[in-house]
């Protein structure tokens, strides 16, 4: 039950429980619409990757074939995050309604240990988990896409990779945004990878970067499958390279890596069924928690991005992130009380302390008390294919260009995913997330993620495929994009482009994107005790999503914040 202070919510926020429309609204404003297609669509961070994914679909391949091609094409066209040296998660919904997901998250090397980033006084050594060979987790990408292809693919593996090899050989034209990103990271890349590395060069917008070494690596992977990366010549060369750089990944680490099929998180929100990624990503559980806490509020009656709306979302986010950081970790290593965390009555009790007149302090919000019952169970791109399958895939190197360690002889960057573990309880990682025991480092363990590849169903049919990059902000960006469509009736492109904000419990402040929020609204929030991050706040997320319109056509939402592009037919 809500406590007495929350009784006023029904007046102030138009609190409703069941008496609202469960119909998805759909904006008809064609001027703001994204790309519309009849049959199939791929939306990703780069036009080259979306186009290659679409080419595979047009060749008769399905979304799973297109996934392998798009993922690898992103490693060529978008080395900032696209990768062979990282990992990711994919959530799928087949045309017949079956859902599932695969975890190809990186793992801690077998020689890793919980204090590996601490000095002799027990303090975190700055940079050790974020830059260079020790920051690298055992990559999962090739295992993931190969496993997906083995299970669901229809075109031959080698055929799918051909256009990507072609792209790597012919090169990719540098965009303005890419030139800026490379310039911003060049110093660190040189520090880690040396003066002779490919990205030591100062690339300008309009230059073409060719990747002959990557083309060779891809050729071997096309011929030999995932074994090439984990047991073959590529594995040998990768391990020799890493060990020369002071890394601890061995041939045994690579040979024993396996992607895992996992049961996705599934929950209802106002007549929609939402399917998202389960641990070791925190995305699905945290999204379910936030949406469960929001469900009793009539958000549609609030002005979009108004102080009231920001307040309710912030308070739900605060409470969900406090739980996230305490309870979540790799389910193969720790017991994660998923069912209790997303239980609607637990979530209602979490919001009982919500006061519409003032901010809750994060220092007053710990993780919720659950009675744990022992039990013996335990860069984003979106694709919809011409058969009606929907795939939501988020993949990462973690930081920009990962560990900044570029393997010139193989043509790809390596991740710095080890930073997603809690190096030390209570000390924030590069996203300011404070971790706990559940996410401590252990050999062979997967580090907790925020990646939230998500699919939304309505009336038993596919409605939306959505996801984004953005570290700890991923979950709240996916949340806001879904709410923009289902509560505010925005079309897909509007929902993606709308200004975003973010709160994650600690640090106890709200981040706003630089544009789209008024100073008068900020003043209202400040008067209630909300702390606003007044320092530099960058854009939040780059959402790439697809909406199935009422007439069955597809609308792409390719985030204007990046070079993101929808391709469809
Ligand atoms: N490396 C970001 C995440 O997995 O959430």
Render pLDDT for 282-319 as a digit per residue (tens, 0 to 9): 999 999 999 999 999 999 999 999 999 999 999 999 99
Kindly state if the Cβ of 420 falls inside 6 Å of ligand 1: yes
Ligand 1 lined by 491 (C-beta under 6 Å): no
Rounded to two decimals, what is the model's pTM?
Answer: 0.93
- Mutate-to-test residue for ligand 1 from 135, 417, 418, highest number of ligand atoms within 8 A of CB: 417
Using a 6 Å cutoff on CB, does residue 471 contact ligand 1?
A: yes
Question: Which residue, judged by its Cα, is nearest atom 4 of ligand 1?
Answer: 449
Q: Ligand 1 centre from 396 Cα, in Å?
A: 7
Of 296, 293, 300, nearest to 316 by C-alpha is 293
Burial 434-451 (b: 16+ CB within 10 A, else e): bbbebbbbbebbbbbbbb
- Residue 110 near residue 443 (C-beta atoms within 8 A): yes
Q: Which of 242-256, 261-275, 367-381 has the lowest mean pLDDT?
A: 367-381
| Residues annotated within a binding site for L-glutamate | 105, 396-398, 420, 449-450, 471
What CA–CA distance (Å, rounded) separates 413 from 400?
A: 10
Backbone angles phi, psi at 555, to 5 degrees: -115, 130
Give the DSSP per-residue string, 339-403: HHHT-HHHHHHHGGG-BTTBPPPGGG-------PPP-S----EEEE-TTS-EEEEEEE-SSTTTT
> Which atom of ligand 1 is least distant from the CA of 450?
5
Place of tokens 């083995």: 150
pLDDT band for 28, please (50, 70, 90 cuts).
Answer: low
144 within 8 A of 126, measured Cβ to Cβ: no
Choose the weakest-confidence range: 82-86, 134-138, 263-267, 432-436: 432-436
Of ligand 1's listed atoms, the one at least distance from the Cα of 283 is 5
In short, whether 439's Cβ falls inside 6 Å of ligand 1 is: no
Local confidence band at 3 (pLDDT 50, 70, 90 cut-offs): very low
Structure tokens given for 305: 């991005």
Report the atom number in ligand 1 closest to the C-alpha of 472: 5
pLDDT at 424: 84
Q: Among 282, 433, 451, which residue has the most ligand 1 atoms within 8 Å of its CB, making it the best to mutate?
A: 451
pLDDT score of 116: 96
Q: Taking 60 as the threshold, does the pLDDT of residue 547 lie above it?
A: yes
Q: Which of 206, 544, 207 is nearest to 198 (CA)?
A: 207
In this prediction, residue 370 has a pLDDT band, given cuts at 50, 70 and 90, of low
pLDDT band of residue 436 (cuts 50, 70, 90) is: confident
Average pLDDT, whole number, for the chain? 92
DSSP state of 24: P
Ligand 1 pocket, mutate which of 394, 396, 403, 476 (most atoms under 8 A from CB): 396
Bridge partners of 268, per DSSP, are 273
What pLDDT is attached to residue 423? 86
Estimate the crossing angle of helix 63-77 against helix 212-224, to 10 degrees.
Answer: 150
The answer to whether the CB of 468 is under 6 A from ligand 1 is: no
Position in ligand 1 atom list of the atom nearest CA 394: 4
Q: Is the CB of 254 under 6 A from ligand 1?
A: no
């Amino acid at each position: 039950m809500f406590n007495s202070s929350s009784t006023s919510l029904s007046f102030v926020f138009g609190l409703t429980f069941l008496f609202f429309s469960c119909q998805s609204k759909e904006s008809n404003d064609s001027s703001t619409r994204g790309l519309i297609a009849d049959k199939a669509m791929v939306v990703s961070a780069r036009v080259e990757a979306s186009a290659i994914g679409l080419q595979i679909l047009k060749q008769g391949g399905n979304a799973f074939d297109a996934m392998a091609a798009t993922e690898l094409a992103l490693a060529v066209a978008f080395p900032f995050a696209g990768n062979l040296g990282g990992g990711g998660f994919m959530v799928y919904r087949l045309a017949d309604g079956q859902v599932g997901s695969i975890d190809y998250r990186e793992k801690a090397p077998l020689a890793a240990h919980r204090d590996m980033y601490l000095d002799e006084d027990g303090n975190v050594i700055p940079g050790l988990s974020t830059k260079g060979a020790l920051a690298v987790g055992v990559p999962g990408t090739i295992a993931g896409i190969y496993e997906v292809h083995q299970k669901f693919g229809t075109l031959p593996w080698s055929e799918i990779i051909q256009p990507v090899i072609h792209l790597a050989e012919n090169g990719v034209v540098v965009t303005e945004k890419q030139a800026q990103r490379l310039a911003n990271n060049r110093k660190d890349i040189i520090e880690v990878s040396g003066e002779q590395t490919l990205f030591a060069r100062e690339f300008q917008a309009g230059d073409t970067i060719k990747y002959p070494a990557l083309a060779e690596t891809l050729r071997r992977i096309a011929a030999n499958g995932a074994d090439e990366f984990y047991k073959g010549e590529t594995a040998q060369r990768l391990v020799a390279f890493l060990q020369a750089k002071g890394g601890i990944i061995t041939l045994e680490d690579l040979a024993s890596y396996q992607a895992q099929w996992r049961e996705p998180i599934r929950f209802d929100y106002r007549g929609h069924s939402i399917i998202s990624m389960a641990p070791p990503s925190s995305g699905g559980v945290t999204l379910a928690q936030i949406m469960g806490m929001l469900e009793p509020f009539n958000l549609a009656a609030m002005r979009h991005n108004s102080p009231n709306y920001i307040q309710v979302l912030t308070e739900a986010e605060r409470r969900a992130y406090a739980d996230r950081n305490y309870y979540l970790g790799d389910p193969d290593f720790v017991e994660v009380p998923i069912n209790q965390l997303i239980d609607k009555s637990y979530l209602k009790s979490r919001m009982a302390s919500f006061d519409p007149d003032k901010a809750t302090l994060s220092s007053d919000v710990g993780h919720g008390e659950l009675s744990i019952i022992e039990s013996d169970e335990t860069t984003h791109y979106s694709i919809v294919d011409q058969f009606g399958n929907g795939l939501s895939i988020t993949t990462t190197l973690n930081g920009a260009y990962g560990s900044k360690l570029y393997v010139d002889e193989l043509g790809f960057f390596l991740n710095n995913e080890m930073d997603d573990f809690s190096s030390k309880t209570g000390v924030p990682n590069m996203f300011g997330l404070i971790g706990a025991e559940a996410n401590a480092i252990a050999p062979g363990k997967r580090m907790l993620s925020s990646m939230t590849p998500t699919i939304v169903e309505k009336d038993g049919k596919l409605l939306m495929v959505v996801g984004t990059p953005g570290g700890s902000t991923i979950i709240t960006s996916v949340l806001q994009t879904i709410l923009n469509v289902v509560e505010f009736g925005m079309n897909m492109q509007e929902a993606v482009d709308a200004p975003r904000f973010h709160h994650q419990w600690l640090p106890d402040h709200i981040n706003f994107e630089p544009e789209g929020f008024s100073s008068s609204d900020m003043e209202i929030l400040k008067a209630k005790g909300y702390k606003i991050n007044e320092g530099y706040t960058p854009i939040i997320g780059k959402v790439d999503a697809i909406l199935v319109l009422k007439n069955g056509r597809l609308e792409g939402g390719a985030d204007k914040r990046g070079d993101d592009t929808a391709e469809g037919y």
